[in-house]
Structure 1
Amino acid sequence: MLALASHSRLVWRLGGLVLALAAAQARAEEPAFMPDIAPLSDFPDPSHATRREGLFLPPGMPRLLMPGMTKRQAYALLGAPHFHEGLFGERRWDYILNFHTGSGTAYRICRLQLRWDRRMRLDRMAWSSEDCRAAVYPIIPERRDTAVPPLPVPAPAPDPAPLTLYFDFDKADLDQKAYQDLARFVAANSNRDAKLSIIGYTDGAGPDAYNDRLSLMRADMVAKSLVALGMRLSNLQISGAGERSPARPGEADVRDPLNRRVQVAFLNGG
């Protein structure tokens, strides 16, 4: 079908959306975890790299890498690894990354190594030096606040209403209206640390296995768009329900536009 034929183009489009996140990550925040420092002997010979010149990135981009990410999510942020390391079954990816120092055209050459666990989820990260790690994870001085009396605890606000986005038949792309609706949804709910559930669905047309995959592609597209709008990737729960739980039940194999959707909802009270 058309969605499977255009899957590779979809991956590159998602990667472009992620690049827009650099502006939203401009402010320094204390990292939720701190990667390791490894000796240069743990990294492969740079003369064997596929990109010996390295890759220039804003420091906020590798900062988005978090334990538990999939290889596809890491690939969307950094691209392919630089040392002929495969996408399937490989337990280590190595990169050469360059960061401008802020002094003219001078830049720092850094090495980053990603380690994957048995489930091919990101398990460990290591930088080649303290300076490289500090370029991505700046140390925030501890702030000592003056003690103040505790404020009254307000009553919990009602959960924000979920958002439903609709898709064309056999498509996983967001049209202009859907993207605008998503942007308004994010703007109306200013808590960028909130956790979101993103569930994709399809109508009843097509095989079950294909619909499961298509529903996940739709949810993944919405998640990438949310990241580009400033939401944290680690706070997004992404899943695909295929043709199960239709919004409007009916006969099997029916192309119902109300069932081709993604629902975005806040968790834990937004």
Structure 2
Amino acid sequence: MGVTIQEVIDRLKDSGPDTVDGVDGLLFGDPDAPVSGIVTAFSATHRVLRRSIALNANLVISHEGIFYSHRHEQTVPEADSVRRDKERLIEEAGLAVYRCHDFVHRCRPDLITRGLIRALGWESYLVKESPEAGILHLPKTTLNRLVQRVKERLDLPYLRVAGDLSAECSRVGILVGYRGGGRTAIPLYEGEGVDAVIAGEGPEWEAPQYVKDAAFQGKGRAYIALGHAESEEPGMKYLAEVLGRSFPCLAVHFVPETPVFRVV
């Protein structure tokens, strides 16, 4: 008999810290069913689910919630038609969907943060890791050149930036997902001496506004907003590599998505 869905889940649970009381868990599917293939994704969008079916992968590992909320509710009275159509696709295709959020963030190093740093090609510049942030010491550059490097490496059509594009940058903080708020980002500037923070997202009136004031005061600080998915997708690609090494008999695919927003 081949590898079961539960065996893949156990691999994720056994190799990392305890995730009790978190959001990780099997949302759909039979844990005893054999795995025909695995797809990892930032979110199991309708497109990702269709792609999984085409790849003959019956186990989809989604970092974020699949029904537009952090916590998964099994039954929703009068569920929206978008959710109903998505549920129908999952059930008719016999897909198993596993939420893998807490595990990858609680690993040391955080697999999502490390995945982004790997995608940027900056592993050799990593000087410090905390549970929430990675600190890099890069060759001196300008904010503008740093932004262009990030866009090129992550293949992003645009970035949102606060700060003087001509300012020099060397020490950089990395914050993935929703860690880009003031509580996590602002202390990095003076506490860690960073010139710029590269973050997924956070309230716009917190760290970006802080950087705007800092720039007005003549302090060369910057904030680069990647977007939540754009900051965490590389980590789920990294997870696919990890699972591929753990289960060499299985086809493991990472399926990216297009950006949620467009500039018009």
If the TM-score is normalised by the length of the shorter chain, which range does it land in? Answer: under 0.3
TM-score, normalised to structure 1, is 0.24
TM-score, normalised to structure 2, is 0.24
Larger-Rg structure: 1
Q: More helix per residue: 1 or 2? A: 2
